[in-house]
Each structure stands twice: as C-alpha cells, then as structure tokens.
Amino acid sequence: MQELALKYGCNPNQTRARIYMEKGELPITVLNGRPGYINFLDAFNSYQLVRELKEATDLPAAASFKHVSPAGAAVGLPLSDVLKKIYFVDDLELTPLAAAYARARGADRMSSYGDFVALSDTCDLATAKLLAREVSDGIIAPGYTDEALAVLKGKRKGTYNIIQIDEAYRPALKETKQVYGISFEQDRNEAVIGTELLAQRPTKVKEMPPEAERDLVIALIVLKYTQSNSVCYVKDGQAIGIGAGQQSRVHCTRLAGNKADNWYLRQHPQVLALPFRKDIRRPDRDNTIDVYISDDWEDVLAEGTWQLFFTEKPAPLSKEEKKKWLATLNGVALGSDAFFPFGDNIERARRSGVSYVAQAGGSIRDDNVIAACDKYGIAMAMTGLRLFHH
C-alpha cells in the first residue's frame, strides 16, 4: 500500500488528508480502527523515540505521546511498591515492557490522558491488559501477540487504533515538509545519542554513576522528539517532567520542574493514604490528587466539595511539609535540547533534586551556568549537540 486516505487533517475543516510514500510501500499496517492525521504524527514520532531508547539502553521502552510531544517515556525497569500504587498497577503482573509503559503513563497521568502509545517491542498480554483500562487513542508497535491483539481490539467499543510498523523500515536520509506552499528539505537528524556525548564535564563535580549517565541519555533521546524549546527531567529510567514548546528556556525548566515535583509529591505518605471513595474513577482520582498537592486545595475545603471524592475530610498538606518532602528528592538527571543561556535554569532545576545535567553548551554565559552548577555540587556535561525538533 503506497497511500492511505484519512478522515481529515489536523482539523475537520481540512477535509483532504492522506499519508503516502513517494516511492515504495507504507511501512505500516492498520490492524484496527481508523487513525487520523494527528494520530500518525504521534505514532511515527513516538516510535522513533522508543526505538532509539531500546538501542541505547538494551531495555524495552515505551512512550506516551500527545500532540507531537511525549507526555512520558521510560525503559522497562522494575517498579517499587510506591510507584505501583501511584501508577494504579499494584494489582497487575508486569512484564518489563508493561513496566515501561506504566512508567511512561504514570509520571504525568493528567497529560497522558487520551495518549498515543509507542512500544519498542512486540506488545504482550500484560501490556495490553494495562492499556485496556486506560483512556488512550491508539498504539504503534512492531508486533502484537494474538492475546494482546484480542484485548486491544476490544477497547473503545472495537474502534481502538492499532498500528503495526515494519521493524526493518529505515527512511531516506532526506526529509521534506511544506509550510505555506513552500517546500523545506533537510537531512534527517540521525545523531546517535550515547554516553560518549557526556565526556566533556567542565564542572568541579565530574563523577556520574552509570545510572545517571543512562538517565541523561534517556533525557536527550526524549528531547530529540519533543517540540522545542524543551527540557526533560529523568529519574530511575523514566521521564518525570517534560517541558515542551516554550519560547523561553527557563519556562521549559519551570514547567518540567513543576511536573517532576508533582510526580514526587504523589509519593508523599499523606497522599498515599488519602481516603478516596471506592466509586471514584482513576482520571478523577488523578485530577483530585493534583488539586490536593496544589495551592488550590484550601479553596476545595472552603467549598466543601471534598465530599465528592473522599470518605472523610483529609488533612491538608502544608507548604512547609511539601517543601520538606521535596528536599529529599535527589539524583535527578536533567537534559536540555540546547544551551542554557543563564544560570537561572540551574537555580530552578536544583529545587527539583537535579544532580546531573546534560546540555549543548556554547552560550556566551557558559561560565555563569558552570558556576551555578558548582554552587550546588551538580555535575554537568556539555554535549556540543543541539536537538531542536520542529
């Protein structure tokens, strides 16, 4: 098949839409559903990401994509009991691939709602069972077991979008796009991201354990497929905060840092013990937890709406308690898709437990950024590689 007609483009008024190959056959097969224009954009970007994560780490990888940027991405490392609980998978048997998706989905569950999923490996039954109970638009993977495919075909009343991609497919070096009727052409970004990019470390602290190097590589690969400007925080093999598409780099750092803080605050014992009503759906529970750990909780208490979610009135989590808990977060890796122009990015990053940084370098204020890292004992690598994605 060389061409596939789509229902419409980015919006319903863009009625003529298709995907096609100039030469050869499309490297995908639609096994179920009717994926749309945005679905395919998410699918092809996210599959590249997980394929590279697998190649770099030799671990199964998964991504949760929304609007052509990842909401989460991770490799298949085991989950702690706490992570299993906050990701709502403590009742499931997880394979490494299922663990990768649980991590990718769980870090920012609000953003992952209605995601498009990418898997580096053949989708197994455990991963399909996890996906079956989440709100998701579709999935792309190099294959599916018969049992997994049967489960996924039952999602969304049989309309769930399931795409299989040819694992052997490699695109041509040249890529083109059109904007306002004008064609652009460039070489694909085929930069290989590995630990060799972390060799140049201008900070006083230079030591990075293997786990930190792995997490920095994960951050950089995630950024390669995130709309720029972008910053990514990674901890224990998973993105815990992604800031995408901001015009100011410090706003990326703040946005991603706030997401990383929320991820960690969800693990606070007081949050884990919240007395939820049994009839509360997972998305509503996610949203309520986000409100509980935010500054808006006092308003909820004042309005009395807490009764819609809890069996008893939960004690608030004070600013002092949140600050004390966040101070215990450490060992976080931070990647940036281009250089940090000012040290304010480091000032914000260290508040979210950042101990390791990878950025392109090359700013006229590199010395200021290095000094900020030295101030907090942060080890920083300058990769010399910019990873803009538009």
Q: pLDDT tens across 68-106, in order?
A: 999 999 999 999 999 999 999 999 999 999 999 999 999
Contact 239, 72 (CB under 8 A): yes
Tell me which DSSP letter residue 309 carries: T
**Domains in the chain, start-ordered, CATH in brackets?**
3-165 (3.40.140.20), 183-265+326-382 (3.40.140.20), 274-316 (no CATH)
Copy the structure tokens of residue 41. 């954009």
State how far the Cα of 8 lies from the Cα of 10, in Å rounded to an integer.
7
pLDDT band per the 50, 70, 90 thresholds, residue 242: very high
Mean per-residue pLDDT, 19-46: 96
Q: How confident is the model at residue 300 (pLDDT cuts 50, 70, 90)?
A: confident
Considering only CA atoms, which of 241, 275, 306, 235 is closest in space to residue 110? 241
Poorest-confidence range of 1-15, 47-61, 140-154?
1-15
* 3-state class (DSSP) for residue 255: helix
State which amino acid sits at residue 102.
A
Going by C-beta distance under 8 Å and a sequence separation of 6 or more, which residues neighbour residue 24?
Answer: 2
What's the confidence (pLDDT) of residue 296? 79
pLDDT tens-digit readout, 174-224:
999 999 999 999 999 999 999 999 999 999 999 999 999 999 999 999 999
Q: Distance (Å, rounded) from C-alpha 130 to C-alpha 163?
A: 18
Are 129 and 88 spatial neighbours (Cβ–Cβ below 8 Å)?
Answer: no
Q: Partners of 381 in the beta sheet? A: 358
Instruction: Tell me phi and psi for residue 297, to 5 degrees.
Output: -65, -35
Q: Judging by DSSP bridges, how do beta strands 161-165 and 136-141 pair with one another? A: parallel
Tens digits of residue pLDDT in 127-181: 999 999 999 999 999 999 999 999 999 999 999 999 999 999 999 999 999 999 9
Q: Which residues are catalytic?
A: 66-67, 229, 390
Which of 324, 268, 325, 257 has the alpha carbon at shortest distance from 292?
A: 268
**In whole angstroms, how far apart are CA 141 and each of 67, 145, 188, 225?**
18, 11, 22, 17
